[in-house]
Every structure is written in C-alpha cells, then in structure tokens.
Amino acid sequence: MLPIIAFISVIFMLGYAILMLYFRAGWTKMNELKIIKDYTPHTKVSIIIPARNEEKSIGILIKNILAQIYPPELTEIIVIDDHSTDTTSTVVGSFPTVKLITLADFTKGKVLNAYKKKAIETGIKQSSGELIITTDADCAMCEFWLLSIVYFYECMHHKLIAAPVAFFNKKNWFQIFQSIDFFTMQGVTGALSYFKSGTMCNGANLAYTRKAFDHVKGFDGIDDIASGDDMLLMYKIEKAFPGQTSYLKCKDAIVYTDGMNTIQSFLQQRIRWASKATKFKDKRIQFILACVFFFNVFLLLVLLFAIVDTVYLKIFILLLLTKGSIELSLLLPVSRFFKKEAELYFVYILQIIHIPYILISALLSQFGTYSWKDRQVK
C-alpha cells in the first residue's frame, strides 16, 4: 500500500509540473501592454461598485477613480449600497458626481442568496456606458487604470477583459501567503487567456461590454449562486462569443486590494471562491482544479504514512521541496510583473500550510454554508 501511494504521488507531481510549466509558458509568452498615455479614448465607461459596510475604504476608492487620467464626460461612477449598516451611503453621498443606488429599494425585503450579483445587475440597469467595469469597494489603482483598460478595449474590441489584481504590500507571513497564492491565480488566468484554454478572472478588475452582458441575459441561470459574478459570467460570454475574452497584462491596469486579516476570514473567502467550482461548465477548469486537489490529497497521505515508516517522511520532504520549486517556475515571472519578487523567499516555508489550506477550502466549499459580508450563504 505504501509504495503505491508514493508512486501515485510522484505521478501527480509530474502532472503538476507539466501544468505549472504550461502556465509559465502562457504567462511569459503573453505580451505586456504599454499604453500610449496621451491616447484620446472615445468609449463611455460605467464603473459599477457594489458596497456593503465599506465606510473605511469606499471614499479612498472613489478618490482614486476621480483622479483618473480619463475624460470626466466619458466616466460614470455608480455605487450600489448593499444594505449597509454603517455610514457607507453618507460617505458616497459626499461625492456629488457619484451616483448612489440603494439596493434595498429594489429587493423590497426579499431574501437573496446572491446579493452581489443583484447589486451589479441593478447598477448596470441604471448605467449608460458602453463598457461596464466592475471593482470592489476596498480597492485602489493608479491614475492610468481606466485609460489602460479602454485603450486595450478600443484596440482589440473584445467582449470581456480580465485585468490584473494584486494585494497591497504585505509584511507578515499570513499576508505574504495570501499574496503568493494570488500570484498563482493571476499567472493561471493570464496563461489560460493566452492559450484560449479556459476562463478565469476576478471581479475586482473586470470589464465587459453592455451588449455582451445583455446578449447573455446577465446573470440569468447563475443568479441563485452566491459567488461567481465574475467567472461564471465570463464563461457565459466566452461561450456566446468564442475567442472574445482576454486578459490585460499591463502594470497600469493593476488593481490593488487587501487580503484577509484573520485565518477564519481567509478560509471563508477561499471557501466562497471554491464553492463555485462545481458550477463551472468549463470542464477544463474543473480538470485543473481536480488535479491540484488530488495531488495535495496524496501528498497528505504520504505525510500520514510517515507515522508508520520514517522513510516516507523523507519522501514527503522531497516532494514538498519539489512542489515549491515547480511553483517557483510560474511565480517568478508573475511576481516580477507585479514587482513583488521579495515575497517569494517564503515559498518553501509556506508549503507546509499550503496543502491543508487547499484541502480544507475544497472540502468545506461543498458542504454547508459560509459567511460573506456578515451573511450566511450557501
């Protein structure tokens, strides 16, 4: 039994290595966009921001958007207050050029499972821009963010554009772990886009045309799922317009956000993200997620067998070091793009918690409920 487990783990390791090298190839081959900063855009954009109890961050985000090097007459900012119990609406109301929508006026007391989708949908219905751009209330960006997205859109005319997301500079081990984990997601997102072999994105930095959103009937068919306002929508648009979704690899387009402050909130976030895995109709993404999950299962089994035979402890350590080295092949070029190479010094040390994190998130996401914005959803 023990040799079989070790052998299977090695097979999975080889498959994992092939996947990581595939993602590295896609990321490195993708050209980085350099925008023409005196470019004159022509597209009206509607920036949709769902917000719930974001009094501490929403004002900073709005100031970031108002400071964009982009024609004000082509910019529409819409904040949808999702039943906040703090002063979010008051903060938003202090900006006269920002349109504030109260979601409660549209839900009429009805209990939903997907409030964020309802907020985005409501905001889009009240907007007038050709290009819809979504971001989160706790984000920040440079002054060329809008211009970079629109420049890419006007050059490529794609229906949906996934753009880069990173965490603010981190200092403690827990924050760095989240940041490194996010690098992997960004690398995979870019590689899948380059090879046209899957669909991934993040709603904190996402753009799509109004016509495409209307064509696929928005969130119809996925509006009962709490998460997935980004990836599930992207799949619908890619299916309707094959080859018309893309990833914008541009430093000016990066949106920065905060990681979770506690292990509990971090796990809740990752469980929420993982909960939509079984909802993916893109079987390629499901295959990748399944490979990563079972690879980590067998790594854990090798560790457990080390209790019986210390030889397996040596095998486990070897596999763990190999896993870290494989991941570095992707993480190095991705972190270089985000100018965060220094965080990679912790890759090997953090491997020991990466395995249980993957398994716990995957398993708990398929059972019961999780907390999101002080709500229990399923």
Give pLDDT, residue 108: 79
Q: Count of domains in the chain?
A: 2
Q: Does residue 275 belong to any structural domain of this protein? A: no
Compute CA distances 281 → 190, 218, 236, 270, 307, whole Å: 19, 16, 9, 20, 40
Q: Does residue 272 belong to any structural domain of this protein? A: no
Q: Environment class of residue 218 by beta-carbon count within 10 Å: exposed (0-12), middle (13-18) or buried (19+)?
A: middle
What is the C-alpha radius of gyration for the chain, rounded to an integer number of angstroms? 21
Assess whether 328 and 316 both reside in one domain: yes
pLDDT band at 363 (very low <50, low <70, confident <90, very high): confident
Return d(Cα 301, Cα 309) in angstroms, integer.
12
Give pLDDT, residue 302: 87
Give pLDDT, residue 377: 63
Assess whether 199 and 83 both reside in one domain: yes
Q: Does residue 299 belong to any structural domain of this protein? A: yes
pLDDT band at 375 (very low <50, low <70, confident <90, very high): low
Return d(Cα 145, Cα 255) in angstroms, integer.
8
Q: Which of 260, 292, 317 is the last residue of a domain?
A: 260
Q: Does residue 374 belong to any structural domain of this protein? A: no
Q: Tokens in use for 145?
A: 């963010």
Among 133, 142, 136, which residue's Cα sits nearest to residue 257? 136
Q: What are the strands of the beta sheet with 165-167, ordered from one edge?
A: 140-141, 255-257, 165-167
pLDDT, average across residues 98-103: 96
Assess whether 12 and 38 both reside in one domain: no
Q: Tokens in use for 356?
A: 């249980």
Q: Which amino acid is at 131?
A: L
Give pLDDT, residue 63: 97
Give pLDDT, residue 55: 95
pLDDT at 171 over 80: no
Least confident interval from 87-96, 154-163, 180-189, 274-283: 274-283
Strand partners, 88: none
Assess whether 6 and 79 both reside in one domain: no
Q: Tokens in use for 245?
A: 């979704």
Most confident of 144-158, 268-282, 286-300, 348-362: 144-158
Q: Which of 260, 294, 329 is the last residue of a domain?
A: 260
Domain span at 352: 2-27+282-365
Q: 0.95 cut: is pTM over it?
A: no
Return d(Cα 59, Cα 140) in angstroms, integer.
10
Give pLDDT, residue 263: 85
Q: Does residue 238 belong to any structural domain of this protein? A: yes
CATH number of the domain residue 154 falls in: 3.90.550.10
Cα atoms in the 13 Å half-sphere on the side-chain side of 6? 15
- What average pLDDT does the structure give for the chain? 90
CB 76 within 8 A of CB 62: no
pLDDT band at 368 (very low <50, low <70, confident <90, very high): low
Enclosing H/E stretch for 47: strand 45-51
Most confident of 192-206, 215-229, 261-275: 192-206
Assess whether 308 and 337 both reside in one domain: yes
Least confident interval from 84-93, 206-215, 275-284, 302-311: 275-284
pLDDT at 102 over 90: yes
Return d(Cα 317, Cα 319) in angstroms, integer.
5
Q: Does residue 266 belong to any structural domain of this protein? A: no
pLDDT at 274 over 80: no
Assess whether 220 and 323 both reside in one domain: no
Return d(Cα 210, Cα 118) in angstroms, integer.
16
Give pLDDT, residue 273: 77
pLDDT band at 374 (very low <50, low <70, confident <90, very high): low
pLDDT, average across residues 169-194: 90
Q: Which of the two residues, 227 and 352, has the higher pLDDT score?
A: 352
pLDDT at 2 over 90: no
Q: Tokens in use for 278?
A: 């079984």
pLDDT at 130 over 90: yes
Assess whether 7 and 40 both reside in one domain: no
pLDDT, average across residues 289-301: 88
Return d(Cα 169, Cα 190) in angstroms, integer.
22
pLDDT at 376 over 70: no
CB-based contacts of 100: which residues, under 8 Å, 6+ apart? 79, 81, 89, 92, 93
pLDDT, average across residues 146-166: 97
Assess whether 23 and 42 both reside in one domain: no
Assess whether 210 and 340 both reside in one domain: no
Give pLDDT, residue 259: 86
pLDDT at 32 over 90: yes
Assess whether 12 and 86 both reside in one domain: no
Alpha helices in the chain (DSSP H): 2-29, 58-66, 88-93, 104-107, 115-125, 145-156, 173-195, 210-215, 231-240, 263-275, 283-305, 311-337, 351-364
Burial 327-346 (b: 16+ CB within 10 A, else e): bebbbbbbbebbebeebbee
3-class DSSP state of 216: coil
Give pLDDT, residue 362: 84
CB 235 within 8 A of CB 149: no
Assess whether 230 and 291 both reside in one domain: no
Return d(Cα 308, Cα 320) in angstroms, integer.
19
pLDDT at 6 over 80: no
Q: Does residue 267 belong to any structural domain of this protein? A: no
pLDDT at 14 over 80: yes
Return d(Cα 365, Cα 369) in angstroms, integer.
8
Q: Does residue 265 belong to any structural domain of this protein? A: no
CB 334 within 8 A of CB 279: no
Q: Which of the two residues, 70 and 272, has the higher pLDDT score?
A: 70
Assess whether 289 and 159 both reside in one domain: no
Q: Which of 260, 295, 326 is the last residue of a domain?
A: 260
Q: Tokens in use for 274?
A: 């993982």
Task: Report DSSP state, residue 371.
Answer: E
Q: Which residue has the tokens 């390791």?
A: 13
